[in-house]
Structure 1
């Protein structure tokens, strides 16, 4: 019998983030940086394994990141959008000897997403094994989200920048949305990043 923690986490970190005007994955965040913080959050969760999908600026990122036993997956098609990173990550997971009970897809640029939220998604998935367990954005569900194996084939076909959002929209009856309590901010621009630092300073 599979246990609760037989979940693989897939961190999407392959994009160029041109709007940020610097390597977003390496932006300072306390004593660490944005991507390493995401890796630590994943490793502190109840998941059994973590993979990080890299693409743009891969060599520079790998030189400066401590991956804490997380496996790096290279997406050679990162310029084609987020969907290709999900596809590359799922493809790598399918090559693992031990197949996970499900895959949790998360982004590298959501610093307020914590292991508590990831664990809530994982726990909810354990009781709803046929459903996608997604984060509630209000108007739509999104990642972080847990996908059971019967969705892997569809995830392998994803292209473009929409990621899994369109897929979840089309399968609304198969999605359970979980509140993330204002943890779903994305850092996409220098202004986003500076505002985030100011907000954290005043907490």
Structure 2
């Protein structure tokens, strides 16, 4: 299991944008706890400010809303003493939302930009039916990038769960995903254990081990090699040593180890040293927003690994015929396959022979 308090590797603006474009969704919503970096991330998604509105808090004074185009500012919330709790509470100013705030949003309908940003939407908006409806109208005519507070309020949940929204929760951006690193190859064509071969000064398997750090609820390296077991133990990475001969054994053992703890599982080969962490992150974001599909990487018409299977396929994967791998499940459910395109074909290349290793080293120079 991921240790409590372990930092989560946050998605970059580029990984979010790539996965959003792959999804086919219309709107992008960033959510998360206070201080999770939503506004900072929003600003990094565009090279210049977009039409829309921006709100902020002035401590002990109130909340203000600015029209990004006209720069006009209004107050939409004010502090009010709460004698029962000996502190101030924030109260909405509904008439400001209903009049100026709604007008700000309506003006965005005439902007030449197809994108509108709203930073942020919280509990104060629940006090204005007109303002909420103006947001819904914008969603019909524009593409919205919204920062939404992580609160259980009907309108906020409506936005987060909207069918056309691609949601990124910065507190848990990859959901409850697990990973099995497949490291049980015999290395017959390589002439030995290829996973310990030197690749730019590191054992080949180290590149896969680095990719998975701080991404998964739980992960495990499944291997037949005692040297790989020792390497994983030194790096405090869960590892399962076994003596079974076939690929279906590796899949079965991995899922028996972690399958009960996760909603989906990534199968990551241990011999793709040029796979980028950003590609893995983008693939995970895609799967978190489309929980019913089998997701895999591709480059043009070439498909490859890693592959993400939802939990509903675990039983089928655990009962594969002798010598069969996950491709059998993929072929059985071709209508459920979706792909994410990596930036470079070399990300998908694996190493089976010394010549493969030499070629990838040359391409990585």
In the aligned structure 2, how far is the partner of 1:129 from the partner of 1:64?
33
Q: 2:277 aligns with which of 106, 112, 115?
A: 115
Q: 1:61 aligns with which of 225, 228, 231?
A: 228
| Kept in 2: contact 1:136–1:178 (CA 8 A) | yes
Q: Which residue of 2 aligns with 1:48?
A: 217
Q: Which moved more, 1:21-30 or 1:153-162?
A: 153-162
In the aligned structure 2, how far is the partner of 1:198 from the partner of 1:140?
21
The offset of 1:50, in angstroms, is: 2.0
The offset of 1:9, in angstroms, is: 1.1
Aligned: 1:26 with 2:196 = yes
In the aligned structure 2, how far is the partner of 1:106 from the partner of 1:25?
13
Q: Which residue of 2 aligns with 1:196?
A: 360
State the secondary structure of the residue aligned to 2:305.
strand
Q: Which moved more, 1:157-166 or 1:118-127?
A: 157-166
Q: Which residue of 2 aligns with 1:168?
A: 330
In the aligned structure 2, how far is the partner of 1:140 from the partner of 1:87?
27
Q: Which moved more, 1:101-110 or 1:62-71?
A: 62-71
Q: Which residue of 1 aligns with 2:238?
A: 71
Q: RMSD over aligned Cα, in angstroms?
A: 2.3
TM, length-normalised to structure 2: 0.49
Could you say which structure has the greater relative contact order, defined with CA pairs below 8 angstroms and 6 or more residues apart? 1
Task: Name the structure with the higher strand share.
Answer: 2
Matches within 5 A, 1:145-156: 145-156=307-318
Q: Which residue of 1 aligns with 2:27?
A: none
TM, length-normalised to structure 1: 0.85
What runs of 5+ residues in structure 1 fail to find an aligned partner? none
CA-to-aligned-CA distance 1:29-71 (integer Å, 9 cap, x gap): 2232111221111115x3233210001xx22223345663321
| Kept in 2: contact 1:36–1:65 (CA 8 A) | no
| Kept in 2: contact 1:142–1:164 (CA 8 A) | no
In the aligned structure 2, how far is the partner of 1:53 from the partner of 1:159?
19
The offset of 1:131, in angstroms, is: 0.9
Q: 1:94 aligns with which of 254, 259, 266?
A: 259
CA-to-aligned-CA distance 1:88-140 (integer Å, 9 cap, x gap): 10111135xxx112111110011111211111111001111111111126556
| Kept in 2: contact 1:87–1:155 (CA 8 A) | yes
What runs of 5+ residues in structure 2 fail to find an aligned partner? 1-168
Q: Which moved more, 1:137-146 or 1:2-11?
A: 137-146
